[in-house]
Amino acid sequence: MAVYTDVTAEDLSAHLSRYDIGELLSFKGIAEGVENSNFLLHATAGTFILTLYEKRVDPADLPFFVGLMEHLAARGLTCPQPVKMRSGETLGELAGRPAAIVTFLEGMWIRRPQVHHCAAVGKALAELHLAGEGFAIRRPNALSVPGWRPLYERARDRADTVANGLAATIAGELDHCERNWPKNLPAGVIHADLFNDNVFFLQNRLSGLIDFYFACNDILAYDLAICLNAWCFSPDYEFDFAKGSAMIAAYQAVRLLSHAEKAALPLLARGSALRFLLTRLVDWLNVPPGAVVTPKDPLEYLKKLRFHQKVGSPTEYGLA
Amino acid sequence: MAVYTDVTAEDLSAHLSRYDIGELLSFKGIAEGVENSNFLLHATAGTFILTLYEKRVDPADLPFFVGLMEHLAARGLTCPQPVKMRSGETLGELAGRPAAIVTFLEGMWIRRPQVHHCAAVGKALAELHLAGEGFAIRRPNALSVPGWRPLYERARDRADTVANGLAATIAGELDHCERNWPKNLPAGVIHADLFNDNVFFLQNRLSGLIDFYFACNDILAYDLAICLNAWCFSPDYEFDFAKGSAMIAAYQAVRLLSHAEKAALPLLARGSALRFLLTRLVDWLNVPPGAVVTPKDPLEYLKKLRFHQKVGSPTEYGLA
């Protein structure tokens, strides 16, 4: 649930006068996003999302995020499209925060994805990777391999309170990833957080991708590995071969994986599992007193990591 | 902020199949209401609000609340109109909670109301009082005079930690209200909570009244007294005669106050100030650890109460 900043009708109406989207009809703070305040707006020109960027977001990153959505939408990807002010700018200020208005995407996220959902995500991910080409601004991935050890160090002393031997497991995996992480795979703009709740479907058709606030430049196949982890495990965390092969096949129908990318997939999947294990573990160990948001279970990603550690060949993910 | 219950797209889509509002296009949990979970729905037939009634609401009261909105909307009042299922029912069940879907009202609540807003509220309140006639279900006001002493008893021991002498002030006022509260004034359905955030405006025209979850049967003029307290004081809690007289005149243009109602207005205003002072004080003294909602300042109502205690004649509220 995320409405950290109070916005008045009076201030928002005045803010909208900078845009060509007509009069404000209504706005509601919505329980979406964790880092920012989001409002659903009805204006005479349609429905929009207003985002106020809160202090957890570095203002220096905003041109990347907003520019990327503009870049992707211009290339036909169905993602929120930033609305320009009459001045031509997409980033404004409201209630003392940087603010952007983007188009609203109809659709709902799917709690229990089926094989065809996973295929749709694979296709959309490859389209995103192609659409990202030529985007001028760069943003390194703060949560790639060099970012993992500091997370581990924050969690190390208390990791074993969550699961016996967890600190040692992470330490070993971290060493393995640091030593073996691939250096020369195709890279570009990745979403880096394409979980269920960031993909909308309408009548079983993918209707849009949202939440580009982890997007960055990194290995493209690493993004696919994140999606395999996020979408292709059963509720009891067994890898679902049908989902994995459907996702990979749909991805490759749009963008073929190179031999090197295929060979790296098990390692990228391990790294991706480790990344979410680490961030969830740190969140789990640092729940602020009185928090209303239940942190996500880090052990889900320990189980996924253990699966990937045993994978001998990328064909085990369904690679044809 | 209020989304206490998680609803899945899958479950909500299935639930909507009981209604004739088309397919679900999107839904967002909204930060509105304190007692219940509310979602804004886009369906092919339009925009709606889904409310899941949480445990603070007595299920026995739901036929009153939902039936009242239906009754008022049928009489032309712009309030949320419950949508009937194909079975004819308006109350269903979703995610283990009683659930209702109502029409969505465009409009925004006004943070800094002007005189003309107060007039619009006076008119709408009188229209509500007339439209409520003939509603068959009855619901006594649990927060009228007999409900105040138990609140006082919960707050008494710690009241003076909030303001010096507060317990004695409340005790005296409570005695006064209990002894003198009018018995035979015109009664009917009152909103009982018509604060700024429950009245929507569009382009300076009142576009709807919402949140009927304190509505009950009580003295009609008491509802006007609640509105005088809620709308007609300056930001530093001075009574605003222009706002008060505009509200009362607009009310009387629709429903004339009797001589007895006019004469009782100062006492009803005191009682109404005491009621909100008491509930806010209890909330203030009982903030749950880690609560995210800041309780409202009870002392605002102490200042209003002190104004009313000095009122010698109802003409001081702007009664012509």
Model pLDDT for residues B34-68, shown as the tens digit of each residue: 778 999 999 999 999 999 999 888 999 999 999 99
Q: What's the rounded Cα separation, in Å, for the pair B250 and B242?
A: 12
- Which residues share a beta bridge with B200? B208
A43 neighbourhood in chain B, CB within 8 Å: none
Residue B108 and residue A24: Cβ atoms within 8 Å? Answer: yes
A108 neighbourhood in chain B, CB within 8 Å: 9, 12-13, 24, 26-27
Model pLDDT for residues B139-160, shown as the tens digit of each residue: 999 999 999 999 999 999 999 9
Q: What's the rounded Cα separation, in Å, for the pair A250 and B286?
A: 55
A8 neighbourhood in chain B, CB within 8 Å: 111-112
Q: Are B62 and B98 in contact (CB under 8 A)?
A: yes
Q: Is the dihedral of CA A180, A183, A184, A190 positive or negative?
A: positive
Model pLDDT for residues A99-140, shown as the tens digit of each residue: 999 999 999 999 999 999 999 999 999 999 999 999 999 999
Q: What is the pTM of this model?
A: 0.91
**Residue A144, φ and ψ in degrees, nearest 5:** -95, -175
pLDDT of residue B290: 65
Residue of B nearest to A204 (CA): B10
Domain end position, chosen among A68, A103, A138: A103
List residues in chain B touching A: CB distance below 8 A: 1, 3, 8-10, 12-13, 23-32, 40, 42, 47, 104-112, 200-203, 289-292
B203 neighbourhood in chain A, CB within 8 Å: 23
A32 neighbourhood in chain B, CB within 8 Å: 28-29
Q: pLDDT over 70 for what percent of chain B?
A: 97
B297 & B213 share domain: yes
Nearest to A9 by CA among B167, B262, B117, B61: B117
B149 & B205 share domain: yes
B8 neighbourhood in chain A, CB within 8 Å: 111-112
Domain end position, chosen among A46, A77, A103: A103
User: Measured between CB atoms, which of B26, B203, B292 is closest to A106?
Assistant: B26
pLDDT of residue A291: 63
B291 neighbourhood in chain A, CB within 8 Å: 290
Stretch B114-138: mean pLDDT, rounded?
98
| SS3 label, residue B45 | coil
B161 or B289, which is more confident: B161
Residue B106 and residue A42: Cβ atoms within 8 Å? Answer: yes
Domain membership of residue B110 (yes or no) is no
A198 neighbourhood in chain B, CB within 8 Å: none
Domain end position, chosen among A50, A82, A103: A103
B195: left (phi over 0), alpha (psi -120 to 50) or beta: beta
B200 neighbourhood in chain A, CB within 8 Å: 26
| Per-position DSSP letters for B133-177, written without gaps between them | TT-----B-TTSHHHHHHHHHHHHHHHTTTSTTHHHHHHHHHHHH
CB atoms within 10 A of CB B307: 17
Domain membership of residue B247 (yes or no) is yes
Q: What's the rounded Cα separation, in Å, for the pair B225 and B269?
A: 5
A166 & A72 share domain: no
| SS3 label, residue B258 | coil
Q: How many domains does chain B have?
A: 2
| Residue carrying the six token digits 């020109």 | A45
Q: Is A287 exposed, middle or buried (0-12, 13-18, 19+ CB in 10 A)?
A: exposed
Domain membership of residue B194 (yes or no) is yes
pLDDT of residue B1: 44
* Residue ranges of chain A whose pLDDT lies below 50: 1
Q: Are A222 and A216 in contact (CB under 8 A)?
A: no
Predicted ipTM of the assembly:
0.89
List residues in chain A touching B: CB distance below 8 A: 1, 3, 8-10, 12-13, 23-32, 40, 42, 47, 104-112, 200-203, 289-292
pLDDT of residue B4: 79
**Residue A162, φ and ψ in degrees, nearest 5:** -90, -40
The pair of structure tokens assigned to A42 is 């009805």
B35 & B89 share domain: yes
Domain membership of residue A2 (yes or no) is no
Residue B292 and residue A289: Cβ atoms within 8 Å? Answer: no
Stretch B198-202: mean pLDDT, rounded?
97
CB atoms within 10 A of CB B253: 12
Model pLDDT for residues B161-178, shown as the tens digit of each residue: 999 999 999 999 999 999
What distance lies between CA B9 and its chain's CA centroid?
31
B138 & B260 share domain: yes
Mean of all residue pLDDT scores within chain B: 95
Distance from the Cα of A184 to chain B's closest Cα (Å) equals: 41
Buried/exposed B39-64: b ≥16 CB within 10 Å, e otherwise: bbbbbeeebbbbbbbbeebeeebbeb
CATH code: domain of residue A122? 3.90.1200.10
Distance from the Cα of B172 to chain A's closest Cα (Å) equals: 37
Residue A202 and residue B291: Cβ atoms within 8 Å? Answer: no
Residue of B nearest to A289 (CA): B290
Q: Torsion over CA of B126, B129, B132 and B134, rounded to 10 degrees? A: -110
Residue B200 and residue A26: Cβ atoms within 8 Å? Answer: yes
Q: Is B252 exposed, middle or buried (0-12, 13-18, 19+ CB in 10 A)?
A: middle
A166 & A311 share domain: yes
Domain enclosing residue A94, as ranges: 9-103
Residue of B nearest to A207 (CA): B25
Residue of A nearest to B290 (CA): A290
A310 & A232 share domain: yes
Q: What is the 3-state secondary structure (H, E, C) of chain A?
A: CCCCCCCCHHHHHHHHCCECCCCEEEEEEECCCCCCEEEEEEECCEEEEEEECCCCCCHHHHHHHHHHHHHHHHCCCCCCCECCECCCCCCEEECCEEEEEEECCCCECCCCCCHHHHHHHHHHHHHHHHHCCCCCCCCECCCCHHHHHHHHHHHHHHHCCCCCCHHHHHHHHHHHHHHHCCCCCCEEEECCCCCHHHEEEECCEEEEECCCCCCEEEEHHHHHHHHHHHHCECCCCCECHHHHHHHHHHHHHHCCCCHHHHHHHHHHHHHHHHHHHHHHHHHHHCCCCCCCCCCCCCHHHHHHHHHHHHCCCHHHHCCC
A26: left (phi over 0), alpha (psi -120 to 50) or beta: beta
Going by their DSSP bridges, the two strands B37-43 and B216-219 should be labelled as unpaired
**Residue B124, φ and ψ in degrees, nearest 5:** -65, -35
Residue B32 and residue A29: Cβ atoms within 8 Å? Answer: yes
B112 neighbourhood in chain A, CB within 8 Å: 8, 10
B89 & B174 share domain: no
Amino acid in the structure at residue B93: E
A127 & A37 share domain: no
Residue B42 and residue A106: Cβ atoms within 8 Å? Answer: yes
| Residue carrying the six token digits 């789990």 | A284
Stretch B237-259: mean pLDDT, rounded?
97
Q: pLDDT over 70 for what percent of chain A?
A: 97
Domain membership of residue B216 (yes or no) is yes
Domain membership of residue B108 (yes or no) is no
| SS3 label, residue B97 | strand
Q: What's the rounded Cα separation, in Å, for the pair A89 and A63?
A: 10
Going by their DSSP bridges, the two strands A187-190 and A46-52 should be labelled as unpaired
Domain membership of residue A109 (yes or no) is no
A235 & A186 share domain: yes
pLDDT of residue B2: 57
CATH code: domain of residue A33? 3.30.200.20
Stretch B94-120: mean pLDDT, rounded?
96
Nearest to B176 by CA among B94, B273, B260, B79: B273
Residue B25 and residue A1: Cβ atoms within 8 Å? Answer: no
Identify the residue among B23, B28, B203, B210 best suited for mutation to test binding to A, counting A beta carbons within 10 A and taking the highest: B28
Domain membership of residue A1 (yes or no) is no
B202 & B144 share domain: yes
Residue A10 and residue B112: Cβ atoms within 8 Å? Answer: yes
CB atoms within 10 A of CB B26: 23
- Which residues share a beta bridge with B94? B97
B129 & B230 share domain: yes
Distance from the Cα of A200 to chain B's closest Cα (Å) equals: 9
